[in-house]
Structure 1
Amino acid sequence: MGNICSRSSNETDPFTQPGRVVGAGPSDRNAAPRAPVPTKTNWKATPGRTLGESNGDGSAAGTDEARANAAIAAQKRAESASANKGKLGAKLAAQKAQSHAQTLDQVSRTERAARDADEAEAARRWN
């Protein structure tokens, strides 16, 4: 698309212009304007301020209020997410609430029920 979309007012390809010899200094014909070098300043003359320090206009108080509002909103989101967990979420919460002994007892009951079912199946087959 390069030549189709370009206008004649565009600059020509930089490789078609004559170049300079390797090792020669930079060309001054297209020198871009440079920003002035800043004067030396004594940075240690003014003490820095600590994070969270107010700068006189009460902006630190505003950030504390914003933080508190964000924390309250996050707490409300967490509470609403835990309240609407549905059927599987309720089962998971009940499982997490079990103690170690209760969990082992439940596993033991499940295994006993499986063994009883296997024994009943063997009795039906007359083994």
Structure 2
Amino acid sequence: MTTISAILMERMKEEHKASVSELLQQGFCSKFQLGTGLNNSQLQWLLERLLVLVEQRGGSERIVALQGGSVVGSLSLQFQVRSGDPRPSQTAVDLLPLWKGIQEVGWAKALGFSVRLAFLSHRPVRGELYC
């Protein structure tokens, strides 16, 4: 008889970011790597930085599914931003780690990633959900 441990859902913490970016890399590598020259670790690094930037921007909450202490899934809840609500602005200091990393990955590869990311952009309509 096989026993399966429960799956727990909680807000993403700092220690989950690497695992979540690895899941995203595995799920979307064919969309981001084709033609960009990014290897798996470079793509995972860019996705992890993207998670940090989205978190800093606000308007969403990332939830992780944990089974036996390991991240087995992730979802992002997007919240409607009301006009007039202040949005946190990013400073050059906030973006410095990203710029340093882009120099290591390469500007052309990072640009290819950014273009592909822009084409994947999707704004769900009210009540829209993907499982």
Structure 2 length-normalised TM: 0.19
Q: Which has the higher strand share?
A: 2
Higher relative contact order (Cα pairs below 8 Å, separated by 6+ residues):
2
Q: TM-score scaled by structure 1? A: 0.20
Q: From the CA coordinates, give the structure whose radius of gyration is larger.
A: 1
Q: Which has the higher helix share?
A: 1
